[in-house]
Amino acid sequence: MQATLALVLCWGMGMAYGQTQILLVLSDSGGACSEVVAAMRGHFAGQNGAFEVRSIHASEFSAGRVDPTETDLIVAIGTDAMEQVSVEARVPVLNILVPRQRYESSRLRAKHDSRQYSAIYLDQPLSRQLQLIKAALPKRDAVGVLLGPASQDRLKPLQQAAREQKLGVSVEQVITEEDILPALKRLFVNAEVLLALPDPLIFNKSTAQSLLLTSYRAQIPLIAYSKSYVSAGALAAVYSTPTQIGQQAAELLLRLAQAKTLLLPPPQYPKYFSVNVNYQVARSLGLAIEDEAALLQRIKAGTERE
């Protein structure tokens, strides 16, 4: 542990004498990954050459080819890149565009020092998701949530966040896909709104449409965690774009460079975020929802008060 820390500090001291060498490892050559890269490079453009940034695809990554004298820090973009990098990396790694649960599993499995292996989650904080419910549906304070194997550790934080927001929360835990619809119907007895949390058992390509349709037929609006689910029929979501997460990552790396250290901060939730509303669904459910800009400002104001 001491030797590892000493090595990191040496690299951090070296940053004072030249460019910070950053290697971006991409899960995909296009899409969200390319948006993150563009945002980071754009943010670095005005830094007078403080950073030298290289990009490779995750499939090309080989820890044996990453020379510490050439690379100060790796940014793994997406879960595929995180999995490729996590086992072999010997330099600090910042993981971005990764779900919280996948990151935690990766960190524990590889037994990384938390000061060298951190993340900006793709997930939103629970408080922010609940604030969206309060802003969009101020008359509905009974929230229903399905938890599966990957999200069951969210129970206590969810209950705490709901208390802080003065919302009631009902929870059903499921173990198999066959449990989902019966559990959902039990939630609908008391819930006025359904909050979706990321869990691959509950929300996946084979279950999503059924969940959306069942909640719609029950006249229970569903608050999702991604823009794609809003397009598919959820009422609304708070989410962060790849560009927003890329900006946050760039700002974090700039702070490290200014402090002349490569010791990473603890994992963090997205700082910047957006709101998306499906107004067609809102009309079908007889709901009058404020415009997205107003909802965004309400959530930001609530965050500032916390």
pLDDT tens readout for residues 69-100: 678 999 999 999 999 998 877 789 999 999 99
Domain-embedded: residue 132:
yes
Q: Model-level pTM?
A: 0.89
pLDDT at 8 over 80: no
Q: Among 38-52, 159-173, 225-239, which stretch is predicted with the lowest mean pLDDT?
A: 38-52
Q: Are residues 292 and 197 in the same domain?
A: yes
Q: Are residues 84 and 168 in the same domain?
A: no
Domain-embedded: residue 267:
no
Q: Are residues 204 and 105 in the same domain?
A: no
Domain-embedded: residue 62:
yes
Domain-embedded: residue 265:
no
Domain-embedded: residue 6:
yes
Domain-embedded: residue 268:
no
Residue 59: pLDDT band with limits 50, 70, 90: confident
Distance CA 233, CA 224 (A): 10
Q: Are residues 62 and 152 in the same domain?
A: no
Q: Are residues 231 and 287 in the same domain?
A: yes
pLDDT at 240 over 50: yes
pLDDT at 48 over 80: no
The string of pLDDT tens digits covering residues 114-145 is 789 999 999 999 999 999 999 999 999 999 99
CATH number at residue 172: 3.40.50.2300
For the residues 257-266, what does the mean pLDDT come to?
A: 90
Q: Are residues 50 and 76 in the same domain?
A: yes
Q: Are residues 249 and 294 in the same domain?
A: no
- What pLDDT does residue 216 have? 95
Q: Are residues 101 and 214 in the same domain?
A: no
* Mean pLDDT value across the chain: 89
Q: Is-contact 246 43, C-beta < 8 A?
A: yes
Q: Are residues 22 and 151 in the same domain?
A: no
Q: What is the domain count for the chain?
A: 2
Beta strands in the chain (DSSP E): 20-26, 51-57, 73-77, 93-98, 117-121, 142-147, 168-173, 193-195, 222-224, 236-239, 274-277
- What pLDDT does residue 163 have? 96
For the residues 179-207, what does the mean pLDDT come to?
A: 95
Q: Are residues 47 and 193 in the same domain?
A: no
Which residues span the domain enclosing 155? 126-238+273-305
Q: In what order do the strands lie in the sheet with 73-77?
A: 51-57, 20-26, 73-77, 93-98, 117-121
Q: Among 54-68, 122-136, 177-191, which stretch is predicted with the lowest mean pLDDT?
A: 54-68
